Amino acid sequence: MFADYVLLLFTTEPRRAKALFNVCRGRRTVSILFAGLTADRLAWLDSWHGVPLSKFEAAAAELVQAGWLQIPAPGYLQVTPAGAAQQTKLRQQLYQPIAWTQFQQVDVRRFNVLNQLALQVVSEFSHQANRYYPVTTDRGMQATVKLWFRRWHSPQLVPQVVAELTGFLATLPSPLADVFANSLTGFDFPGQTDQQLAQLFQRTPVEILVMRKDLNCRWIDWLRQQPTGPLAALLQPLVKANPVSVSAWQTYQDFQQGASLAQIATRRRLKMSTVREHLLEAAILTPTFPFEQLLSPELCQLLAATYAQTPSLTQWRFEQVQAVAPDLDFFYFRLYQIMRCQRAAD
């Protein structure tokens, strides 16, 4: 059930429920990214795009009713001892995604549609079939695949695509390879639905959906490492240079080249608050972020001493350090939290 995966989102520490929901649907404000970072759920960023809030809230209410989640404060949820035991059980039973970080690096949803259509086109082409219903009616997607097909059209196309597919499938254990293959549409074979695959492999439809999402991400990861084939070429334009948004990345590049925050704000005609938001986003999504260029040793010592008795940084309150450093900007407080979180994960 969907609720099973919702339960796996939460921890025994209180977490803002809507923030984690927004991580899953792909919203990218700094507060949401920070919530994902501190809960170790950034890998889920954009993985449940399109799921309505009502469905998430219904699942959470179901978990509270079951005694696996509790509400320590309005808007917050945390796992109960019984919920922690259930999480352990679910991690042993449910399929666990391992490649969802591709959602941060690639336009996964667009590639999934292009990939399905391209494989269908190649399959029909291999049987000289010219009349069939495409898997998508999106004219833009169809135009992209037509251009791709014209570029790669040759007697070698079918064996090249088969080589890519068989190379990838060889990396998967049998049940996963079968799920991936059976979900594809080709000549005289409509791809099976999640419900059909669930019956075939004795899983729930939601688990099959998670499995397919992860398999598509694993397929993308494999193609990125084998960049010379036709399907890898279809993927290439959808690969992002990095997970940071374009504007934030430009700010970060300017900062790395030695520009001060004030200079960046002036050159790019940005508010100082926007420049700082950009750098916080870069710090969350870039593990190699040079924190020391903004955080002095003295400030780090002050913050470390202030929160020495509060090991969980999600429980730190800015007011505590303001009492001893009233002029400190919140930006540096948050940046220090991000640094501590990043380095604790190393």
Residues 6+ apart with CB under 8 A from 165: 119
Going from the C-alpha of 46 to that of each of 27, 43, 107, the distances in angstroms are 7, 9, 10
Alpha-carbon distance 103 to 243, whole Å?
Answer: 9
Structure-block tokens of residue 211: 């499995």
Taking the mean position of all CA atoms in its chain, how far away is CA 301? Answer: 34
What's the confidence (pLDDT) of residue 90? 97
Give 111-134 pLDDT, tens digit per residue.
Answer: 999 999 999 999 999 998 888 899
User: What is the dihedral angle through the alpha carbons of 139, 143, 149, 152, rounded to the nearest 10 degrees?
Assistant: -150
Mean pLDDT on 78-105: 96
pLDDT greater than 70 at residue 346: no
Give 207-258 pLDDT, tens digit per residue.
Answer: 999 999 999 999 999 999 999 999 999 999 999 988 999 999 999 999 999 9
pLDDT greater than 90 at residue 154: yes
Closest CA to 238 of 98, 142, 115: 115
pTM for this model (two decimals): 0.91
Residue 7's φ and ψ, nearest 5 degrees, are -60, -40
Give 167-191 pLDDT, tens digit per residue.
Answer: 999 999 989 999 999 999 999 899 9
Q: What is the DSSP track for 296-318? A: -HHHHHHHHHHTTT---GGG--H
Alpha-carbon distance 192 to 183, whole Å?
Answer: 5
Structure-block tokens of residue 338: 């991000």
Structure-block tokens of residue 279: 């750098």
229-268 burial, b at 16+ Cβ within 10 Å, e below that, comes to: bbbbebbeebbeeebbeeebbebbebbeeebebeebbeee
- Percent of the chain exceeding pLDDT 90 equals 94
